[in-house]
């Protein structure tokens, strides 16, 4: 390490070259353990205990109702392209009915004591855990993500959000110094398809804890777990109208954010749509929180625990097929270890098991939709056209469904589209830096600002770097960790407001001394 | 008695006092003999560049130091009491109202000065997450914030909006009262004498109709705090780079009640929460 801090760049280059070679021989030169090419036996999770209706209505005022639009559309399993069920397409009248139901339920819900609101939320958390396996399987079927993730991440975290916020419902006076917070009112929420249940939980739980009522629209391609959550609400005997779930496409979402009786809108999705929503609610005294896109920088320094960093980088970009707004999609490796690190990554990527999402051994499932697959393919083609070097793991991809092999671009420059645009898929772009200062400049060279990752063994450097990252979450020597107690959300064009923690709940209350929303 | 020495009212940008690059001036109502610089779009852009530099200095200084600088601002207001009252009176205030407003301005400044080194503890947190991780949230400034101050009160209006932003570590570009810009521009002279770093606070005078939309549109402004009722057009323009936008629509009585202007909740919309994770291991 001390050697590379040499001020003479020529000498530095020489030294790092030598070091790289030596290290390369030592750690990658060792023979890889291979067990005769044995394959994993398939270990699919059963689906027989998950009863799925042929058709779902809208959940309004505590019951499933037929849409006034009379229209339904199919939701498919992205791993097989087979239709799973049909859900309703809510139109303006349906949206209005849902908002009216939420409005009607508001006085009773906000008047309820914090203790009682807490008990409903605790109940929901418990029931969700009791039915965890059912939710995990359904999520995997509808979304395409591996059962390993729905079972170990999505569902437990969703339950935690209800449990965590339950404990806030009777403690709102502790939320903000010197204030007695009040509920905002009726909240309209729009969530994306990448974490359908988790997003629903982390939007609904804080809203309810603070005494608001909710109209939520899940994504059109992954509505089933949010609809099943309504069964949990019913089991918990949550008062009618406190949560209303309406399904539909972008038009439904537009009708929702334009509804005059909303007091707050919370949106998670793309930056483009987020800007449209900010415009749509402008001047209406509607509170707004936006959790938008990202293009996270993931920095690896030469002194980092490289093998751990490889795991972190893999988790950062291939978790959930890379359909993660905070994915570590821009890997910045210190020049001295670039070649070695890339080789390690390639070896690791070759071991990622892509396939049947229901198989408990599967690491990476299906791309969520044909449309998303097309977008990924388009951007990867742009990367190739612009001269970056593409590496793709040799994965045997199933014939049916939407699939994309774990991919990595090296030789990426700051101006390449794959370094600037959110791909939202399993595609890593790799470039290099020499000094911490350069790393900061490159990491912040984006209009996004959701997350960042840092791998180095130097504590002081971590804090120095982390304080310079223009990003709302900074993972240090780890990546893609989430918790209900931990605020999540972005800087700059990645949006505003936080979700999780005290700061997240803050976005669901009104403070007496507060300024007016834009 | 000799002929009084008059003052040219200039902009306050990057710690300096330039005239408007446009060469334009305006005469606020009832003051036909006084020429005040009429800031232009280009002046605004210059101020934003200065504020971007000022942001690094201001947010990079210790909270304790920022508190001392803001307290110094209060000291300077006090020591220039006569001059500030004169500026307020030039803007149409009665002697009693001018004195009251200056008292409020000083009280407000002292309150926010003392908040600088507490706001991190009040809005940040350590978070109890699952697993072997140390997790904490700190606050950082949103960045360069545009302020459109109310016409009245001319001094307290500008300070009440700028101070919470400065406490959060932001740099500020403020458009002062159009009707009574004198005291707002004199505030620049007070700031310059208080060790407020160049660019941390920038003050423009000019026409609100001409400039407010430019504040909202400019992509190098990160947030917007506007006196008055919510204005859809401004927010729509501001959405182009997802600016944080807030409006401050107070009654006359509230603007004159210093208690109502001291609020941690005014700091909070213009700070960003950053959450750090690190594993815990032997």
**Residues A132, A135, A141, A144: what is their CA dihedral angle, to the nearest 10 degrees?**
-80
What residues contact residue B28 under an 8 Å CB cut-off, 6+ apart?
B34, B36, B91, B178, B179, B180, B181, B182
Closest-approach residue (CA) in chain A for B126? A486
Q: CB distance A496–B241 less than 8 Å?
A: no
Q: Is the dihedral of CA A202, A208, A212, A218 positive or negative?
A: positive
**Residues A366, A253, A248, A494: what is their CA dihedral angle, to the nearest 10 degrees?**
10
Do A465 and A497 fall within a single domain? no
Do A406 and A303 fall within a single domain? yes
Contact A395, A426 (CB under 8 A): no
**B15 within some domain:** no
Do A347 and A286 fall within a single domain? no
Domain total for chain B?
Answer: 1
Q: CB distance A514–B234 less than 8 Å?
A: no
Three-state DSSP at A429 gives strand
Greatest Cα pair distance in chain A: 74
**B8 within some domain:** no
Residues B123-151 have a mean pLDDT of 98
Contact A75, A84 (CB under 8 A): yes
Q: In 3D, which of A44, A87, A98 has the Cα closest to residue A360?
A: A44
- Helix axis angle, A155-169 relative to A114-130, nearest 10°? 170
What residues contact residue A295 under an 8 Å CB cut-off, 6+ apart?
A329, A330, A419, A420, A421, A422, A446, A448
Q: In 3D, which of A385, A407, A413 has the Cα closest to residue A395?
A: A407
Three-state DSSP at A488 gives strand
Which token pair is A222? 């992954």
Query: Where residue B121 sits, what CATH number does that domain have?
Result: 3.40.605.10
**A257 within some domain:** yes
Q: Is the dihedral of CA A198, A201, A204, A207 positive or negative?
A: negative
Closest-approach residue (CA) in chain A for B119? A177
pLDDT at A31: 67
- How far apart CA A93 and CA A255 sit, in angstroms, is 9
**B1 within some domain:** no
What band does A463 get if pLDDT is binned at 50, 70 and 90? very high
> Which residues face B26 on adjacent strands?
B36
Lowest mean pLDDT segment, chosen from A149-163, A446-460, B20-34: B20-34
**B3 within some domain:** no
Do A221 and A87 fall within a single domain? yes
CB-closest option in A274, A478, A498 to B242: A274
Contact A453, A328 (CB under 8 A): yes
Rg of chain B over Cα atoms, rounded to whole angstroms, equals 19
- How far apart CA A429 and CA A295 sit, in angstroms, is 10
In tens, the pLDDT along B177-222 reads 999 999 999 999 999 999 999 999 999 999 999 999 999 999 999 9
**Phi, psi (rounded to 5 degrees) for A266:** -125, 125
Please say if the pLDDT value at position A5 is more than 70: no
Contacts of B274 in chain A (CB under 8 A): 466, 469, 471-474, 491
Q: CB distance B248–A283 less than 8 Å?
A: no
Place of tokens 């993931």: A298
Domain total for chain A?
Answer: 2
Look over chain A and give the mean of its residue pLDDT values, rounded to a whole number. Answer: 94
Do A281 and A339 fall within a single domain? no
- With a pLDDT cut of 70, the percent of chain B lying above it is 100
Q: In 3D, which of A122, A72, A114 has the Cα closest to residue A227?
A: A72
Contact A418, A383 (CB under 8 A): yes
Do A273 and A367 fall within a single domain? no
**A467 within some domain:** yes
Residues A437-462 have a mean pLDDT of 98
Long-range contacts of A270-275 (CB under 8 A, 24+ apart): A270/A422, A271/A422, A271/A448, A271/A493, A271/A494, A271/A495, A271/B242, A274/A495, A274/B242, A275/B239, A275/B240, A275/B242
pLDDT at A29: 54
Q: CB distance B242–A489 less than 8 Å?
A: no
In tens, the pLDDT along A100-116 reads 999 999 999 999 999 99
Testing the interface with B: which of A271, A285, A486 to mutate, by most B Cβ within 10 A? A486
Q: CB distance B242–A278 less than 8 Å?
A: yes
Look over chain B and give the mean of its residue pLDDT values, rounded to a whole number. Answer: 97
H-helix or E-strand containing B248?
Answer: strand B244-248
Place of tokens 């005014």: B266
Q: CB distance A501–B137 less than 8 Å?
A: yes
pLDDT at A506: 97
Residues A181-192 have a mean pLDDT of 98
Active site members of A: 291, 325
Do A308 and A437 fall within a single domain? yes
H, E, C per residue of A119-156: HHHHHHHHHHHHCHHHHHHHHHHHHCCCHHHHHHHHHH
Residues A480-501 have a mean pLDDT of 98
Q: In 3D, which of A361, A354, A437 has the Cα closest to residue A392?
A: A354
Look up residue A37 and give its DSSP letter: T
Do A63 and A195 fall within a single domain? yes
Contact A213, A186 (CB under 8 A): yes
Which token pair is A342? 């890339």
Q: CB distance A518–B224 less than 8 Å?
A: yes
pLDDT at A311: 98
**Phi, psi (rounded to 5 degrees) for A267:** -130, 135
- CB-defined contacts A:B, below 8 A: 152
Do A112 and A80 fall within a single domain? yes
Question: Nearest CA of chain A to the CA of B175: how many Å?
Answer: 18
Rg of chain A over Cα atoms, rounded to whole angstroms, equals 24
Residues A246-255 have a mean pLDDT of 98
Residue A429 is part of which domain span? 294-484
Q: In 3D, which of A327, A210, A198, A186 has the Cα closest to residue A266?
A: A186
Do A387 and A497 fall within a single domain? no
**A428 within some domain:** yes
In tens, the pLDDT along A392-429 reads 998 889 999 999 999 999 999 999 999 999 999 999 99
Residue B93 is part of which domain span? 25-279
Rounded to whole angstroms, what are the CA distances from A69 to A89, A138, A154, A215?
A: 7, 26, 32, 18
What band does A26 get if pLDDT is binned at 50, 70 and 90? very low
Q: CB distance B265–A514 less than 8 Å?
A: yes
Q: In 3D, which of A203, A171, A207, A176 has the Cα closest to residue A190?
A: A203
Residues B87-110 have a mean pLDDT of 97
Please say if the pLDDT value at position A338 is more than 80: yes
**B4 within some domain:** no
Contacts of B268 in chain A (CB under 8 A): 506
Contacts of A447 in chain B (CB under 8 A): 241
**B19 within some domain:** no
pLDDT at A197: 98
Please say if the pLDDT value at position A27 is more than 80: no
CB-closest option in B122, B133, B245 to A518: B245
Q: Specify whether the backbone of B243 is left (phi greater than 0), alpha (psi in -120 to 50) or beta.
A: beta
Query: Where residue A402 sits, what CATH number does that domain have?
Result: 3.40.309.10
Do A140 and A253 fall within a single domain? yes
**B7 within some domain:** no
Assembly ipTM: 0.95
Q: What share of chain A is helix, strand, coil (3-state, %, to 5)?
A: 40, 20, 40
**A178 within some domain:** yes
pLDDT at A30: 61
- How far apart CA B35 and CA B43 sit, in angstroms, is 17
**A31 within some domain:** no
**B12 within some domain:** no
**A403 within some domain:** yes
Do A401 and A262 fall within a single domain? no
CB-closest option in A276, A475, A516 to B249: A516
Parallel/antiparallel/unpaired status of strands B201-204 and B171-175: parallel
Residues A426-455 have a mean pLDDT of 98
CB-closest option in B238, B246, B263 to A513: B263
């Amino acid at each position: 390490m001390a050697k590379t801090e040499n001020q003479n760049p020529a000498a530095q280059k020489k030294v790092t070259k030598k070091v790289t070679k030596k290290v390369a021989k030592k750690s990658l030169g060792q023979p890889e353990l291979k067990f005769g090419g044995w394959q994993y036996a398939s270990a699919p999770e059963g689906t027989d205990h998950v009863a799925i209706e042929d058709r779902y209505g809208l959940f309004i005022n505590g019951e499933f109702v037929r849409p006034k639009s009379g229209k339904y559309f199919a939701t498919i399993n992205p791993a097989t392209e087979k239709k799973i069920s049909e859900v309703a397409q809510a139109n303006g009248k349906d949206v209005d009915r849902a908002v009216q139901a939420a409005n009607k339920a508001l006085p009773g819900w906000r008047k309820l004591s914090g203790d009682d609101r807490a008990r409903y939320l605790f109940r929901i958390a418990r029931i969700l855990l009791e039915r965890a396996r059912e939710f995990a399987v359904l999520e995997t079927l509808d979304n395409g993500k591996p059962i390993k993730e729905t079972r170990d991440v999505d569902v437990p975290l969703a339950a935690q959000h209800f449990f965590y916020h339950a404990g806030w419902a009777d403690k709102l006076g502790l939320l903000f110094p010197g204030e007695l917070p009040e509920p905002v009112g009726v909240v309209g929420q729009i969530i994306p398809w990448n974490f359908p249940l988790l997003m629903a939980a982390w939007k609904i739980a804080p809203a309810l804890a603070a005494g608001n009522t909710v109209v939520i629209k899940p994504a059109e391609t992954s509505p089933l777990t949010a609809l099943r959550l309504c069964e949990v609400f019913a089991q918990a005997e949550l008062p009618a109208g406190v949560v209303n779930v309406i399904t539909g496409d972008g038009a439904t979402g537009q009708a929702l954010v334009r509804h005059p009786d909303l007091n707050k809108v919370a949106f998670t999705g793309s930056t483009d749509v987020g800007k449209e929503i900010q415009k749509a609610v402008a001047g209406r005294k509607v509170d707004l929180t936006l959790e938008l896109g990202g293009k996270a920088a993931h920095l690896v320094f030469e002194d980092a625990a490289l093998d751990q960093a490889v795991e972190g980088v893999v988790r950062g970009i291939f978790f959930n097929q890379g359909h993660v707004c905070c994915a570590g999609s821009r890997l910045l490796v210190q020049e001295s270890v670039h070649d070695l690190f890339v080789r390690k990554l390639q070896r690791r990527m070759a071991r990622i098991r892509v396939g049947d999402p229901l198989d408990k051994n599967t690491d990476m499932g299906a791309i969520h939709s044909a449309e998303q697959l097309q977008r990924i393919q388009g951007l990867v083609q742009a990367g190739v056209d612009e001269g970056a070097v593409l590496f793709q793991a040799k994965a045997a991809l199933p014939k049916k469904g939407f699939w994309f092999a774990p991919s990595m671009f090296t030789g990426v420059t700051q101006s390449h589209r794959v370094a600037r645009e959110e791909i939202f898929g399993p595609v890593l772009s790799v470039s290099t830096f020499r000094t911490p200062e350069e790393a900061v400049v490159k990491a912040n060279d984006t209009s996004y600002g959701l997350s960042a990752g840092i791998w180095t063994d130097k504590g002081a450097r971590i804090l120095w770097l982390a304080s310079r990252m223009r990003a709302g979450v900074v993972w240090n020597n780890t990546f893609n960790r989430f918790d209900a107690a931990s605020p999540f959300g972005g800087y700059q064009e990645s949006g505003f407001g936080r979700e999780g923690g005290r700061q997240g709940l803050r976005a669901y209350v009104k403070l007496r001394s507060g300024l007016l929303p834009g | 008695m000799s002929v009084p020495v008059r003052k040219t009212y200039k902009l306050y940008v990057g710690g300096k006092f330039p005239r408007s690059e446009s060469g334009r001036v305006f005469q606020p109502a009832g003051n036909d003999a006084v020429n005040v610089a009429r800031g232009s779009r280009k002046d605004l852009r210059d101020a934003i560049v200065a504020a971007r530099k000022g942001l690094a200095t201001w947010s990079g200084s210790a909270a304790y130091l920022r508190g001392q600088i803001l307290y110094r601002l209060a000291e300077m207001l006090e020591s220039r009491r006569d001059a500030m009252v004169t500026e307020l009176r030039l803007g149409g205030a009665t002697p009693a109202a001018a004195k009251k407003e200056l008292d409020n301005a000083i009280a407000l400044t002292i309150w926010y000065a003392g908040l600088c080194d507490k706001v991190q503890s009040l809005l940040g947190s350590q978070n109890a997450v699952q697993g072997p991780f140390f997790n904490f949230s700190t606050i950082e400034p949103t960045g360069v914030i545009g302020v459109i101050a109310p016409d009245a009160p001319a001094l307290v209006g500008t300070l009440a909006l700028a101070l919470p932003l400065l406490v959060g570590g932001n740099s500020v570009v403020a458009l002062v009262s159009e009707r009574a810009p004198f005291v707002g521009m004199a505030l620049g002279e007070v700031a310059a004498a208080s060790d407020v770093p160049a660019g941390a606070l920038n003050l423009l005078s000019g026409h609100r109709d001409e400039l407010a939309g430019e504040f909202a549109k400019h992509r190098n402004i990160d947030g917007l705090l506007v006196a008055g009722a919510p204005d859809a057009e401004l927010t729509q323009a501001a959405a182009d780079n997802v600016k944080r936008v807030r409006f401050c629509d107070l009654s006359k009585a509230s603007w004159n009640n210093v208690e109502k202007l001291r609020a941690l909740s005014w700091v909070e919309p213009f700070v960003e929460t950053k959450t750090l994770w690190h594993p815990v291991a032997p």
